[in-house]
Homo-oligomer: A and B are copies of this chain.
Amino acid sequence: MPGTCPHRDLMDRFFRPRSVAIIGLSRTTGEGSFNILENLLNYGYPGQVYPVNPHAAEILGVPCYPCVDELPVTPDLAIITLPRHLVPGVVGDCARKGIKAVILVTQGFAETDAEGIRLQEEFLAALASSGTRLLGPNTLGTVNAFDGFSSSFTPMRRADPLPTGMICQTGFFLAVNLAPSVGLGLGVDVGNAVDLGVVEFLDYLGGDDRVEVIALHLEGLGDGRRFCEVASEVTRHKPVLALKTGRSAAGAAAAGSHTGSLAGEDAVYDAAFRQAGVLRLSGVDELDDVVKAFLHLPPLRGNRLAIVTATGGGGIMAVDACAGHGIEVARLSGDTLAALKAIGPPWFEPGNPMDVWPAAIGKPYPLVFAEIFTRILNDPNVDAVLCIGGAVVSTGTDLADFIEAAAALQRDKPVVWWVQGQDAPRIAARVEKSRKVAVYPSPDRAVRALALLHRYYSAIRGRRPEPPATLEGIDALKARELLRREAGYLGPAVFDLLAAYGIAVAPWAATASPAEAGRLAGVIGYPVAVKGYGAGLVHKTERGAVILGLTTRREVERAAADLLGRTPAEGLLVQKYFAGGHEVILGGKQDPQFGPVVLYGAGGVHTEILADVSLGLAPLSVAEGRRLLEETRFSRILAGTRGQSPGDQGALLDTLLRLSRLIADHPPIAEIDLNPVLVFSQGCVTVDARVRRGEEE
């Protein structure tokens, strides 16, 4: 059922089955035995269990059945843990029995060898048109701390459920918890995901009101577009955090275009996550930090942070962290400053960061701290407070008491603590139980978590879907015709293709004769450039097949003859020559996961080395197009710097939007580079371009 996620009733069977068959259950029990039934009972499962094992009458006191056929009922769920060669038969048995949900624990299928591939095809065939859906193979399955169910063969520690959901692509993170300082509500290991996968479970967790924040561990996605559709919907009402691994494998494939090499797999994931409102995290530490922030803290809508610290040195580190994560150091109001000034010695100067220590000289530290903290928390110029304390400094009271007292004051502003010292983990574990504050082991991690909180609540939650930009003057039929005519790299027709989408190109004409080139130059108007084209000239400049700035007919004829003699040119392009302007590159490609993507970046020799580019899924909305232009460093040059005139960003945006539509409308375009596009104070023009058609249409 591509495009549609299964109904909730069916998905519920994976997380809260009323009855479950465990097929191939081992008789070995006890520590180190990985016995699913034993784990399930220990976990507190309240439903009916039907072990299937022809060699046992009962296991752990639960009666066994010899085969699926002989089960006395049709259970909601079957868990299969048999050797791989038995799997296809048993999957067929389950389908015939009418079991609608199957978790296939066994590994050793298509990821391993030819026999595994064959067996996988066989069990998929057994599923076909049965209405039975499968999770796995190679999976621990699901965990549900709310209702007390787990299919895991490694023991799960059941704790009070927290409103978290987790989808991972390895059982390890289900077993140990991807965000270990936070408890789990619902979790699933999608394993090899040959049927149900990340998309279906994301849709399911998105629709479960008990889940407030969703963490993903992703190694790859089959259908990136569907993921984006579902994620865009989910992120509008709850945060989705992704740990995408395998960065370094990305972009390894050699590519024929700039866009191909710059828009590597990992960069496309970045762009897709951003467009879908998914927050991408750098590692397990950050995931833990951010899940905790969403779980414990109220929404952060402003980004003005106050820092209340037991150490001036720590305050400096917190300011560094703010600068690093785009969080503003709040300017305290005059009223607050005046009230604080009255607390310390005569030479005491309050501010932000607020070093509490000098104010507390000769006074009871806890009382001074509480007074300062309260005043700053209530300052209307402050959106959130970071407190800094030491875990082994005795101050006459336990730091955890401080934090709990502060948490009690917290209403609608996030309060985070950086606690330094050996006791920090103990303090964090104790005070975070209240779900009112979040404790971090460094100021950088505290501020980084706040920055993501702010990004979510200010820019993602509740946002409206943006439609693709509306564009006029597009001749899609003509473009399709042009693409049908030629295979591989397009010749001069690439300029017609761009023109069909309303993209301004340098006036041009094609010929194979030097004399005709001279005549055409006069028609186009000097100065002109002469370029060779043909299959052997994909990298024209490197082959010396581009001669610029010709100003007379004689020059043109000579250059044309030279070019034809010296290079493998199949023909000549005579083109109006433009000097000046800002050089940029625009490009597009079909990404295997996410389909059509567009790219924008600085042009010229720096293109690949600086990799100062931005990416988006095509077709772009106007807002997304603007974001692409804004997020490169080159945008500052384009806006006009010392001695440089600004470029026409409106015209550039229009070109980018049109290109995004072109690549989205025409899947046969495998890769396209507009390089360079020259951006002038008024308008922009594409001076060279290259299109590669895909292998098959």
When the two chains form their complex, are residues B642 and A32 in contact, meaning their CB atoms are under 8 A apart?
no
Q: Indicate whether A636 reaches chain B with its CB closer than 8 angstroms.
A: yes
A4 is an interface residue with CB less than 8 A from chain B? no
Encode A200-235 as 1/0 by CB contact (under 8 A) with B: 000000000000000001010000000000000000
A338: interface (CB < 8 Å): no
**A283 on interface, CB distance cutoff 8 Å:** yes
Complex contact A310–B172 (CB within 8 A)? yes
- Cβ-defined contact, A181 with B31, below 8 A: no
Q: In the complex, what's the smallest C-beta–C-beta distance from A106 to chain B, in angstroms? A: 10
The dominant DSSP class at the A interface is: loop
Do residues B644 and A176 form an inter-chain contact, with CB atoms below 8 A?
Answer: no
Are B390 and A172 in touch, CB under 8 angstroms? yes
Contacts of A112 in B (CB 8 A): 347, 349
Stretch at the interface among A55-63, A268-276, A606-614: A606-614
**Chain B neighbourhood of A541, CB < 8 A:** 642-643
Are A606's CB and B609's CB within 8 A?
no
CB pair B345 A172 closer than 8 Å:
no
Given contacts A313-B219, A421-B176, contact A323 B643 (CB under 8 A): no
Q: Is A527 an interface residue (CB 8 A)?
A: no
- Answer yes or no: A70 CB below 8 A from chain B CBs: no
Interface string of A254-271 (1 = CB under 8 A from B): 000000000000000000
The 8 Å CB contact of A177, one of B115, B314, B421, is B421
Tell me, yes or no, whether A298 is within 8 Å of chain B by CB.
no
Nearest CB in chain B to that of A422: its residue: B180
Task: Flag whether A380 is at the interface (Cβ < 8 A).
Answer: no
**Segment with Cβ contacts to B, from A91-99, A242-250, A553-561:** A242-250
Closest CB of chain B to A141's CB: distance in Å? 15
Query: Shortest CB–CB separation between residue A37 and chain B, in angstroms?
Result: 15
Scan A311-327; emit 1 where CB is below 8 A from any B CB, else 0: 11110110110111000
- Interfacial residues of chain A within 112-144, with CB under 8 A of chain B in the complex: 112-113, 115-116
The answer, among B177, B283, B633, for a CB contact under 8 Å with A610, is B633
Q: Does A476 belong to the interface (CB within 8 Å)?
A: no
A164 part of interface (Cβ distance < 8 Å): no
A393 located at the interface, meaning its Cβ lies under 8 Å from any Cβ of chain B in the complex: yes
In Å, the complex CA distance between A637 and B108 comes to 47
How far apart are the CA atoms of A140 and B354 in the complex, in Å?
20
Does residue A470 face the partner (Cβ distance < 8 Å to B)? no
| CB of A445 to closest CB in B, whole Å | 7
Chain B residues contacting A539 (CB-CB under 8 Å) are 642-643
Asked if B32 and A170 make an inter-chain contact with CB atoms under 8 angstroms apart, the answer reads no
- Contact at B314–A113, with CB atoms within 8 Å? no
Contacts of A392 in B (CB 8 A): 157, 175-177
Interface: A196 (CB within 8 A) = no
Residue contact A219 to B168, C-beta cutoff 8 Å: no
Give the contacting residue for A176; candidates B177, B349, B420, B445; CB below 8 A: B420
Contact assessment for A610 and B609 in the assembled complex, using a CB-CB cutoff below 8 Å: no
Instruction: Please choose the segment from A394-402, A567-575, A656-664 that sits at the chain B interface, where 4 or more of its residues have CB less than 8 A away.
Output: A394-402
A365 is an interface residue with CB less than 8 A from chain B: yes
Contacting residues of chain A (605-635) with chain B, CB-CB under 8 angstroms: 605-606, 608-610, 612, 633-634
Complex contact B313–A420 (CB within 8 A): no
Chain B residues, CB < 8 A from A312: 170
Pairwise interchain contact B154-A394, C-beta atoms closer than 8 A = yes
A542 interface residue, CB < 8 Å from B? yes
Residue A468 is within 8 A (CB to CB) of chain B in the complex: no
Instruction: Give which listed residue, B323, B347, B542, contacts A642 with CB less than 8 A.
Output: B542
Cross-chain contact B391 with A176 (CB below 8 angstroms) = yes
A340 to chain B, nearest CB (A): 16
Give chain B residues whose Cβ lies under 8 Å from the Cβ of A113.
Answer: 346-347
Whether A247 pairs with B285 at a CB distance below 8 angstroms is no
Given that A176-B393, A444-B282 are known contacts, is A248 also in contact with B642, CB under 8 Å in the complex?
no
Minimum CB distance partner of A425 in chain B: B425
Least CB distance from A339 to B in Å reads 20
Residue of B nearest to A389 (CB): B176
Q: By the criterion CB–CB under 8 Å, are B157 and A31 in contact?
A: no
Answer whether residue A185 sits at the interface, using C-beta atoms and an 8 A cutoff.
Answer: no
Chain B residues in 8 Å Cβ range of A542? 642-643
Tell whether, in the assembled complex, residue B633 and residue A245 are in contact, meaning their CB atoms are under 8 Å apart: no
Min Cβ gap A31→B in Å is 6
**Do residues A442 and B285 form an inter-chain contact, with CB atoms below 8 A?**
yes
Contact of A394 among B31, B249, B319 (CB under 8 A): B31
A197 at the interface (CB under 8 A from B): no
From B175, B180, B324, B347, give the contact of A108 (CB < 8 A). Answer: B347
**A391→B311 CA distance, assembly (Å):** 34
Query: Is the CB–CB distance between B609 and A445 below 8 Å?
Result: no
CB of A393 within 8 A of CB of B175, answer yes
> A182 → chain B, closest Cβ, in Å?
10
In this assembly, does A107 line the interface, its C-beta being within 8 Å of a C-beta of chain B?
Answer: yes
CA distance A247 to B318 in the complex (A): 11
Across the interface, do B442 and A283 meet the contact criterion of CB distance under 8 Å?
Answer: yes
Kindly identify which residue among B310, B317, B347, B395 contacts A283, using a CB–CB cutoff of 8 Å: B317
* B residues near A181, Cβ cutoff 8 Å: 422
Q: Is the CB of B637 within 8 A of A397?
A: no
**B176 pairs with A320, CB closer than 8 A:** no
Residues of B within 8 A of A441 (CB): 284-285
Q: Of the candidates B170, B316, B365, B633, which one forms a contact with A314 in the assembled complex, judged by CB atoms under 8 Å apart?
A: B170
Q: In A324-381, which residues have CB < 8 Å from any B CB?
A: 324, 345-347, 349, 358, 361, 364-365
Cβ 8 A contact of A248, one of B171, B322, B365: B322
Are A609 and B313 closer than 8 Å at their CB atoms?
A: no
Most buried by B among A249, A284, A633, A644: A284
Cα distance, A169 to B317, chains bound together (Å): 12
Point out the residues of chain B lying under 8 angstroms from A358, CB to CB: 107-108
Residue A15 interfacial (CB < 8 Å): no
- Between-chain CB contacts (< 8 Å), 10 pairs: A107-B361, A172-B314, A219-B316, A247-B320, A248-B319, A248-B324, A285-B441, A285-B445, A541-B642, A608-B641
Pairs of residues from A and B, 3 with the lowest C-beta to C-beta distance, nearest first:
A32-B396, A170-B313, A172-B311
9 extra interchain contacts, Cβ-Cβ under 8 A, other than A246-B320, A247-B323, A609-B636?
A108-B358, A116-B347, A175-B392, A176-B420, A180-B422, A248-B319, A285-B285, A539-B643, A605-B637
